[in-house]
């Protein structure tokens, strides 16, 4: 038997070796364990969380393969895998929950106390437990769209926490990809939605995808625009999808009596809220947050994508080769375009 026959298959991967610098490495291709699945990555999105790590605003152990918004095709399955098979097109959840802690057992797997983070999706192949793999139902669902499952699942969880009723008004602060997905899920619940941002191009995209009212908050006072749209009542719910404490306070001031506010975006560096507690007390406001998602949220998100209830492909502004990750991250940090994606295997997977 020749040496080439015995050689372990290799793959290309992009490692974040220090803030602001990726390095391409050739490493052995992993093999799935009995309960695991090996997938070939097609496309992966760049998440703002990853961008904060890249910018040095959030600390994680490095070097590391980042990336967790991915879709691809199953290449190999472990011996104990029964409901998945090679060749299936799938979306993947790259955060492995323990399934045994109290949060996992009480419907809050998003707050798992013992999560595991295998190497991410900025590489050609990845191994994950079978429970983290979601098969695509429709052949018409593109890999690009399916890669939105993870961020949309986080949005779905955030919207569930607001308990919207048909006919209510919601304010979404921030018209980036996350904010526009919030708008679409709120519309699915029957809410009317006001979207605020500083960038007109983003606001026009929000309008084209269903926003009832858009506000350039750099040109008009947000509260005045909200009161005008809601007949002076204010909004029933609000989501702050931008990491800025002053925007949280501004959104809270736009709430009607009994209003609910979700601080969706993480705020780095930490900046404490300067809010009048009497505003919360007398108006009976509810301020909450949401982070990550549960397996149920993942399932719902993929269903919304495949049914067309939430349109995600219009949010993609750039698709770059995997080698150009540094360029993609700079685009995200500079708020250029909308959703930035890396093409790994692409549509040929």
The string of pLDDT tens digits covering residues 269-327 is 889 999 999 999 999 999 999 999 999 999 999 999 999 999 999 999 999 999 999 99
Record the pTM: 0.94
Kindly report the CATH class assigned to 3-148+312-348: alpha beta
How far is residue 151's CA from residue 139's CA, in Å, rounded to a whole number?
A: 21
Q: Are strands 133-135 and 169-173 parallel, antiparallel or unpaired?
A: unpaired
Dump pLDDT digits (tens) for 28-60. Answer: 999 999 999 999 999 999 999 999 999 998 888
Domain with CATH 3.90.180.10 in the chain: 3-148+312-348
Q: State the pairing for strand pair 192-197/213-216.
A: parallel
Q: What's the angle, vertex CA 206, arms to CA 205 and CA 211, rounded to 5?
A: 145
Q: 320 and 342 in contact (C-beta within 8 Å)?
A: yes
CATH number of 154-289: 3.40.50.720
Q: Confirm if 247 and 173 have CB atoms less than 8 A apart.
A: yes
CATH 3.40.50.720 domain position(s) in the chain: 154-289
Torsion of CA 136, 292, 213, 141, to 10 degrees: -10
Smallest CA-to-CA distance from 294 within 195, 160, 136, 121 is with 160
Tell me the percentage of the chain whose pLDDT exceeds 90. Answer: 93
* 4 has a pLDDT exceeding 70: no
C-alpha to C-alpha distance for 206 and 193, rounded to whole angstroms: 10
- Candidates 172, 151, 178; CA nearest to 93 is 151
Q: Tell me the pLDDT tens digit for each residue of 126-176.
A: 999 999 999 999 999 999 999 999 999 999 999 999 999 999 999 999 999
């Amino acid at each position: 038997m020749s040496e080439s026959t015995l050689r372990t298959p290799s793959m290309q991967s992009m490692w974040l070796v220090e803030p602001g610098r990726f390095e391409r490495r050739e490493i052995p291709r992993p093999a799935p364990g009995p309960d695991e699945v090996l997938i070939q990555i097609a496309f992966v999105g760049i998440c703002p969380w990853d961008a904060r790590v890249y910018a040095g605003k959030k600390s994680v152990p490095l070097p590391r393969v980042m990336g967790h918004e991915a879709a691809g095709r199953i290449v190999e399955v472990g011996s104990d895998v029964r409901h998945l098979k090679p060749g299936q097109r799938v979306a993947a959840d790259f955060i492995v929950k323990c399934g045994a802690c109290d949060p996992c057992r009480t419907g809050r797997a998003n707050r798992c106390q013992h999560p595991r983070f295998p190497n991410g999706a900025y590489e050609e192949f990845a191994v994950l437990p079978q429970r983290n793999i979601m098969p695509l139902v429709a052949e018409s669902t593109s890999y690009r769209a399916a890669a939105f499952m993870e961020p949309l699942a986080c949005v779905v969880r955030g919207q569930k926490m607001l308990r919207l009723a048909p006919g209510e008004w919601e304010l979404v602060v921030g018209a980036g990809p996350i904010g526009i997905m919030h708008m679409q899920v709120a519309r699915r619940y029957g809410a009317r939605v006001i979207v605020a941002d500083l960038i007109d191009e983003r606001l026009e995209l929000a309008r084209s995808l269903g926003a009832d009212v858009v506000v350039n908050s750099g040109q008009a006072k947000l509260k005045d625009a909200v009161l005008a749209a809601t007949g002076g009542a204010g909004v029933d719910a609000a989501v702050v999808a931008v990491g800025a404490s002053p925007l949280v306070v501004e959104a809270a001031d736009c709430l009607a009596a009994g209003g609910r506010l979700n601080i969706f975006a993480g705020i780095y560096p930490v900046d404490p809220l300067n809010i009048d507690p009497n505003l919360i007390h007398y108006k009976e406001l509810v301020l909450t947050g949401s982070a990550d998602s549960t397996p149920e949220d993942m399932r719902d998100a993929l269903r919304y994508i495949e049914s067309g209830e939430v349109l995600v492909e219009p949010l993609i502004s750039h698709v770059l080769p995997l080698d150009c990750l540094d360029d993609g991250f700079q685009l995200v940090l500079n708020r250029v375009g909308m959703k930035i994606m890396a093409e790994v295997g692409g549509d040929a997977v």
